[in-house]
Structure 1
Amino acid sequence: MSNALCPLWRRLVALVYDLLIVLAIVMVVGLLCQLATGGRLIETGAHTAIPFWYQLLQGMVVAAYFVASWRRGGQTVGMRPWRIRVSRDDGGTISLQQAVIRVAVAAAPLLLLALAPAIGLRATLWTVLGAWALWFAVALFDPRRRTLHDLAADTEVRQMGGQ
């Protein structure tokens, strides 16, 4: 079913595809929340206030996309055209626990967004990107090309047959 270990560049290109899906999901959830709050979801003025429940909801919906995709066939929409699949080391579908660990560790750098008031938005965004670069750079040194979230969840990404 799956053969070769997946090179990092292929995973990153698939992630770009998935970012488009995530953007669409976030936009739909945002629209529904704006409609539900009568357009008063985000308070603007001297300081912009985004409700914590809304941030949590967005995070849960995006996480659900990844967890459901990995549990149902091992592929997100972005992984399909690149014929790559996340799996256990024996090639089987990852467990719910593995999927949740994987998405939590992959999303952990987002916690650094809390630094924005102290160091500014630009520095915070560079810090988050730097953390993600480290998460993925691990794959350059791991013999099975696993990222930090793969190591934490005991998963791997492989190219599917025919590659």
Structure 2
Amino acid sequence: MHDTPADAAIAPPSPWIGRRLLGLVYDLFVAVALWFVVAVPFVLVDVAMSGDVRHNIGPFSLLQWLLWLACWAVTGLYATASWRRGGQTLGARPWRLRVVPLDGPAPTRAAVWRRYAVATLSLLAAGLGFWWAWIDRDRLTWHDRAAGTRVVRLPKGS
């Protein structure tokens, strides 16, 4: 389906990738706060197991891998819940960015988790999926395409 000039006038503009990355930086602060909270029980278990407060969770320990998984999961819960409830994370709000489905009223639970998983892989690949938006004709990232969503920039005052 091709956009007609009337459809293009109605659709909010796609944001520049820099705005999206700045929103991601803002969300990093929220994620780090969540990670601190999630880490507390892991540190307490580590102290109980080792008997030493100065002991660090080892780089190849099961506890460390579980901590990474818990941090990834809690960040995913934050992001996916935000996208399902209004389409905005805390980092997206000041930049007036909103995740919207390409079709339908709201992204499905499966779509937002697929978006989060592909965005994670994109970040692990040096952000290639984000940089892809610079050459994509619709300014969509890999995770936008995978989830059937797009990010729009809201008008001022919304």
Contact 1:101–1:153 (Cα < 8 Å) also in 2: yes
Task: Tell me: higher relative CO, structure 1 or 2? Use CA pairs within 8 A at least 6 residues apart.
Answer: 1
1:109 & 1:156 partners in 2: Cα distance? 16
What is the CA-CA distance between 1:39 and the residue it aligns to?
2.4
CA RMSD of aligned residues (A): 2.5
Q: 1:101 aligns with which of 114, 119, 138?
A: 114
What is the CA-CA distance between 1:16 and the residue it aligns to?
0.3
Structure 1 unmatched runs, 5+: 111-127
Equivalent runs, 1:1-163 vs 2, <5 Å:
3-35=12-44, 37=45, 39-40=47-48, 44=56, 48-50=59-61, 51=63, 52-90=65-103, 92-109=105-122, 128=124, 131-162=125-156
Q: Quick one: percent identity of the two aligned structures?
A: 36
Contact 2:122–2:128 (Cα < 8 Å) also in 1: no
Poorly superposed stretches of 4+, deviation over 6 Å: none
Q: Number of matched residues?
A: 142
What SS class does the counterpart of residue 140 from structure 2 fall into? Answer: coil
Compute the TM-score of the two structures, normalised by the length of structure 2. Answer: 0.78
Q: Which moved more, 1:48-57 or 1:97-106?
A: 48-57
What SS class does the counterpart of residue 119 from structure 2 fall into? Answer: helix
What SS class does the counterpart of residue 156 from structure 1 fall into? Answer: strand
Contact 1:4–1:158 (Cα < 8 Å) also in 2: yes
Structure 2 unmatched runs, 5+: 1-9
Compute the TM-score of the two structures, normalised by the length of structure 1. Answer: 0.76
